[in-house]
A = this chain, B = another copy of it.
Amino acid sequence: VRPQLAANIGATARAMANCGLIDLRLVAPRDGWPNDAALPMASGATWILDQARVFPTLRAAIADLDHTWATSARPRDIVKRIATARGAAAAMRCAVAGGARVGVVFGPERTGLDTDEVVACTELLEIPLDPAFRSLNLAQAVLLVAYEWFQAADETPAQRLKEFGRGRASMAQVHDFLDHFEAQLVDAGFLRNEQLRPTMVQHLTTFVLRAEPTDQDIRTLHGVLTALSGRRRHQLGPRSEEESS
Inter-subunit contact A156/B128 (CB<8 Å) = yes
Is A159 on the interface with B (CB-CB < 8 A)? yes
Beyond A18-B130, A20-B130, A150-B128, is A81–B161 a contact (Cβ under 8 Å)?
Answer: yes
Which of B17, B160, B217 contacts A130 (CB under 8 A)? B17
Distance in angstroms between the alpha carbons of A175 and B182 in the assembled complex:
79
Shortest Cβ gap from A73 to chain B (Å): 11
Bound together, the chains give a CA A87 to CA B134 distance in angstroms of 24
The stretch of A52-60, A96-104, A140-148 in contact with B is A140-148
Residues of chain B with a CB closer than 8 A to A80's CB = 161-162
Contact of A75 among B20, B77, B151, B164 (CB under 8 A): B164
Q: Is there an interface contact between B150 and A147, defined as CB atoms closer than 8 Å?
A: no
**Is A63 among interface residues, defined by CB-CB distance under 8 A?**
no
CA distance A212 to B78 in the complex (A): 13
Q: Are B162 and A19 in contact (CB under 8 A)?
A: no
Digitize A4-20: 1 where CB-to-B-CB distance is under 8 Å, 0 elsewhere.
00000000001101111
Residues of chain B within 8 A of A20, CB atoms compared: 130, 132
Q: A84-B156, A133-B45, A143-B140 given as contacts; is B128 within 8 A of A164 (CB)? A: no
Asked if residues B83 and A158 are in contact (CB atoms below 8 Å), the reply is yes
Does A135 sit within 8 A of B, measured CB to CB?
yes
Chain B residue with minimal CB distance to A45?
A: B133
A172 at the interface (CB under 8 A from B): no
Given contacts A43-B137, A79-B166, A81-B162, 8 further A-B contacts (CB under 8 A): A18-B129, A79-B214, A81-B159, A82-B160, A83-B160, A88-B159, A124-B162, A129-B150
Contacts A/B (CB < 8 Å), 22 sampled: A14-B137, A18-B129, A75-B162, A79-B162, A80-B162, A81-B159, A81-B160, A81-B161, A82-B160, A83-B159, A84-B158, A86-B151, A86-B158, A87-B159, A124-B162, A128-B151, A129-B147, A129-B150, A130-B150, A140-B140, A143-B143, A147-B147
